[in-house]
Amino acid sequence: MPQYLDGVRLLHHQEPQSTTDATLTFAVGARDETLPTVGVAHALEHLVMNTIRRLPIRIDATVSTTTTTFEASGTPERVGEFLTGICAALSAPPVERLEVEAGVLAAEDGWVTHPMAALLYYVRYGARGAGLDWLDGPGPDGITAEQVNAFAQKWFTADNAVLQVTGPVPADLKLPLPARAESASAEAARPQAGTRPRHGHYPARQFPGPSVVGYGIPGAAVLLSLPDGDPARIASLATDVLQQRIEESARHGGGHSYVVDCDSVHQPDGTTDWVLYAEAREGTEEAVALAVVEALTDLAANGPSEDELRLALDRFEEQTATSDADLAAEFAVLRRELFDEPVGEPLDPERVRAVRPEDLAAVLRAALPTAIGYAEEDAVEQWTKHGFTEVSLCPVGGELPAGEEFRPPRVARLFVREAREQKLVLTPDELAVRDEDGVHHVPWDEVVGVMRAGDGTSVVFGANGCVLPVSGDLYRGGKKAVAELERRVDRSLWFKESRFKAEED
Ligand SMILES: [Zn+2]
């Protein structure tokens, strides 16, 4: 029988221990924000944790791309206080602290995931969903009390949460989470009782074949979309052997890399986007790029050695043996339910043990045509000589449409070579810019945000990942173009550049 506490699904792990470990997970993360509210989940987490920070137990909280998690370990009484405090604060976030907390948030490393993973999600999804991991939005000083309250009310409800408890469940535990918003005046907008808010589903950018992007982060990475939820967990094993192979050659072999790791985001179609990344020390960018591309292409062609496969199977078995398999399976099913993902098949240890090197090669080979590689700009060649085509961070292509044209000022055209080709065109349907990369198109109804930068420029962000700065300095008559932006783009999508960011620049 499923157990509930104040409407929150409870997974209880029976262990003969007198202390309690609790993890309260909400099916909401950074990808459920929008460009003008990037950082709202992290701000909310800080405000909430601040209310219980004096509890003398081990506590922690994390916002990832897909989830927000609160954890505590201690006596059942203290853990109970923690959980009740968290839920109460989520119901009524102490937004009066926003300004103080903004400084704390700005001083922290604000990345939801590793920058190389964030960049590759952005190339795949543009300025929405997991792609938002890459963007700053308004910064911690631009998040408003209204945004925090609305986000908490929408997502931090009992039916969007799972509580895992190991050891005794705190006596008389109360979880006073926000009630589903009800408004008599907005009957149509109100979700029906018991229905969780839906996560946005975004199409992936399509490429004609294996692709690679270059940027300034020292290191190399690859994004692979792999099938998910088969009983032998082939994708986990395949990414594990890939990571070990990269580690072996980039870290142990050449001493080029300290950090080799992976990140993953489940997708609603039952696939998972995996990013494997290796940081490079100065001067080793090429060696690390080569390590990643060779590991991938060789494993896809030939599969792992028997040794590599056995190690991966041993690690998998050890992981399964040291966790509560039933609880893990239950949580996996619940997770899929909360995210509206197709239900996977249960793990079958027999099938896992029967996996052969060629099975892993096959799944990697099938992922190659949609793979996106990453390397530091000067090392992209390591990918292109292995058959990957260099693409830009955002889609470019097609012709400039006919419409109202804006060119850079004449002085800029005389002295800046790029400015000669540059042109902005406004039409009733879209804005388009031609620059040295090609033509960028952003339809008006796909503008996801406009940032007013510290220097007065209005920066238009398209859902597809295109970023188009517009100002009177950049274009002759550009003020007229900005006025047109103001007329066409909804107020709620405008935000100011963070003063923390402006100071950095
Ligand atoms: Zn573009």
What is the distance between the alpha carbons of residues 83 and 24, in angstroms, rounded to a whole number? 8
Length of the chain equals 505
Q: Can you give the pLDDT of all 505 residues of the chain as single tens digits?
A: 789 999 999 999 888 889 999 999 999 999 999 999 999 999 999 999 999 999 999 999 999 999 999 999 999 999 999 999 999 999 999 999 999 999 999 888 778 999 999 999 999 999 999 999 999 999 999 999 999 999 999 999 999 999 999 999 999 999 999 876 554 444 444 444 457 888 988 999 999 999 999 999 999 999 999 998 889 999 999 999 999 999 998 877 677 777 999 999 998 888 999 999 999 998 899 999 999 999 999 999 999 999 999 999 999 999 888 777 777 888 888 888 888 888 888 889 899 999 999 999 999 999 999 999 999 999 999 999 999 999 999 999 989 999 999 999 887 777 777 777 899 999 999 999 999 889 999 999 999 999 999 999 999 999 999 999 999 999 999 999 999 999 999 999 999 999 887 666 5
CA 116 to ligand 1 center in whole angstroms: 19
Max Cα–Cα distance, the chain, nearest Å: 78
Write phi, then psi, for 62 (nearest 5 degrees): -140, 135
CA 395 to ligand 1 center in whole angstroms: 5
Instruction: Return the pLDDT at 324.
Output: 75
CA 224 to ligand 1 center in whole angstroms: 22
Instruction: Return the pLDDT at 183.
Output: 45
Record the tokens describing residue 368, joined without a space. 């190659």
Category of 354 on φ-ψ map: left (φ > 0), alpha (ψ -120 to 50) or beta? alpha
Domain coordinates in residue numbering, the chain: 3-114+124-185, 211-390, 404-504
CA 466 to ligand 1 center in whole angstroms: 4
As a 3-state breakdown, the chain gives helix, strand, coil percent values, each rounded to 5, of 40, 20, 35
CA 422 to ligand 1 center in whole angstroms: 13
CA 122 to ligand 1 center in whole angstroms: 12
The CATH superfamily holding the domain 3-114+124-185 is Metalloenzyme, LuxS/M16 peptidase-like (3.30.830.10)
CA 447 to ligand 1 center in whole angstroms: 12
CA 460 to ligand 1 center in whole angstroms: 11
CA 410 to ligand 1 center in whole angstroms: 24
Category of 406 on φ-ψ map: left (φ > 0), alpha (ψ -120 to 50) or beta? beta
Record the tokens describing residue 257, joined without a space. 């890399």
Instruction: Return the pLDDT at 92.
Output: 96
What is the distance between the alpha carbons of residues 191 and 310, in angstroms, rounded to a whole number? 49
CA 286 to ligand 1 center in whole angstroms: 27
Instruction: Return the pLDDT at 406.
Output: 96
Kindly state the DSSP code that residue 215 receives in the 8-state scheme.
E
Kindly state the DSSP code that residue 191 receives in the 8-state scheme.
P
Q: How many CB atoms lie within 10 A of CB 247?
A: 19
CA 505 to ligand 1 center in whole angstroms: 23
Instruction: Return the pLDDT at 188.
Output: 42
CA 416 to ligand 1 center in whole angstroms: 21
Instruction: Return the pLDDT at 184.
Output: 41
CA 439 to ligand 1 center in whole angstroms: 7
Q: Which amino acid, 139? A: G
Domains 211-390 and 404-504 share a fold: no
Alpha helix stretches (DSSP H) within 126-233: 145-155
CA 164 to ligand 1 center in whole angstroms: 43
Cβ atoms of residues 424 and 406 within 8 Å: yes
- Quickly name the fold that domain 211-390 has: Cytochrome Bc1 Complex; Chain A, domain 1 (3.30.830)
CA 287 to ligand 1 center in whole angstroms: 30
Instruction: Return the pLDDT at 309.
Output: 97
Instruction: Return the pLDDT at 153.
Output: 95
Category of 283 on φ-ψ map: left (φ > 0), alpha (ψ -120 to 50) or beta? left
Residue with tokens 């039952």: 270
Choose among 41, 52, 61, 27: nearest CA to 150: 41
CA 106 to ligand 1 center in whole angstroms: 29
- Encode pLDDT of 179-229 as tens digits: 765 544 444 444 444 578 889 889 999 999 999 999 999 999 999 999 988
Question: CATH classification of 404-504 is 2.60.120, yes or no?
Answer: no
CA 465 to ligand 1 center in whole angstroms: 6
CA 204 to ligand 1 center in whole angstroms: 15
Instruction: Return the pLDDT at 504.
Output: 64
Write phi, then psi, for 177 (nearest 5 degrees): -80, 165
Q: Which amino acid, 444? A: W
- Encode pLDDT of 382-425 as tens digits: 999 999 999 999 999 989 999 999 999 887 777 777 777 899 99
